[in-house]
Amino acid sequence: MLNIVLFGPPGSGKGTQAEKLIKKYNLIHISTGDLLRSEVANKTSLGTEAKKIMDAGELVPDEIVIGMIRKKLEEHKDGPGFVFDGFPRTVEQARELRKALTDYDERVTMEISLEVPRGELLKRLVKRGEESGRSDDNEETINNRIDVYERQTVPVTYYYEKMHKHVPVNGIGTIDQIFKRIVDAVEGFEKFHEAGA
């Protein structure tokens, strides 16, 4: 299986690039943000609770997202692999993902980290907020989402760095330019490991 953690701050292009990756490598896309927004749209009790947290730009409790991930892994356990988009977002989530994949004799192949400066993130998300009306795409919440990312989520990169799975990718440029960098990173990483390095 090819299991890619697609990592990066809010607005770095995780969702956009995940769509292209799943097509190229025939993978299953798991976005915890999309799963939570679907709970909100369906007005479930989980969705009602999550909406308040998401609108504030904070993180939904680990046990909720881990439960959603375990369910998705079970549904697609015989598939070719996954792109995890927006997950893991805490070191605890990364540890739990490791445990859950181990249950299927699997592991995270690599973590690709899209690197985009705050000014560009703000520009992209304010624009999307104006066009799509996503309720957490307003300047105040975007800034808090980025602060939460820096405080609670960046440590996940150190977790994968220690395992030699962290691969930074420049997330500035056209969508196709960035995708090419990601594909080069995936293929370079696989070749390196096939060579037994």
Residues that bind ligand AP5 (CB under 6 A): 8, 10-16, 32-33, 36, 53-54, 57-60, 65, 86-87, 89, 93, 124-125, 128, 136, 145, 175, 178
Contact 58, 153 (CB under 8 A): no
Give 175 or 190: the residue with its C-beta nearer to ligand AP5: 175
Could you tell me the smallest distance in angstroms from the CB atom of residue 141 to ligand AP5?
8
Which residues, in sequence order, are CB contacts of 156 under 8 Å at separation 6+? 7, 88, 89, 90, 91, 93, 94, 111
Helix (H, G, I), strand (E, B) or coil at 81: strand
Active-site residue flag, 128: yes
Shortest Cβ contact with ligand AP5: which residue? Answer: 33
Can you tell me the distance from the alpha carbon of 192 to that of 189, in angstroms, rounded to the nearest whole number?
Answer: 5
Can you tell me the distance from the alpha carbon of 31 to that of 173, in angstroms, rounded to the nearest whole number?
Answer: 23
Catalytic residue among 72, 89, 124, 181: 89
Give 10 or 108: the residue with its C-beta nearer to ligand AP5: 10
Active-site residue flag, 43: no
How do beta strands 28-31 and 110-115 pair?
unpaired
Could you tell me the smallest distance in angstroms from the CB atom of residue 2 to ligand AP5?
20
Residues with a catalytic annotation lie at 14, 89, 128, 134, 145
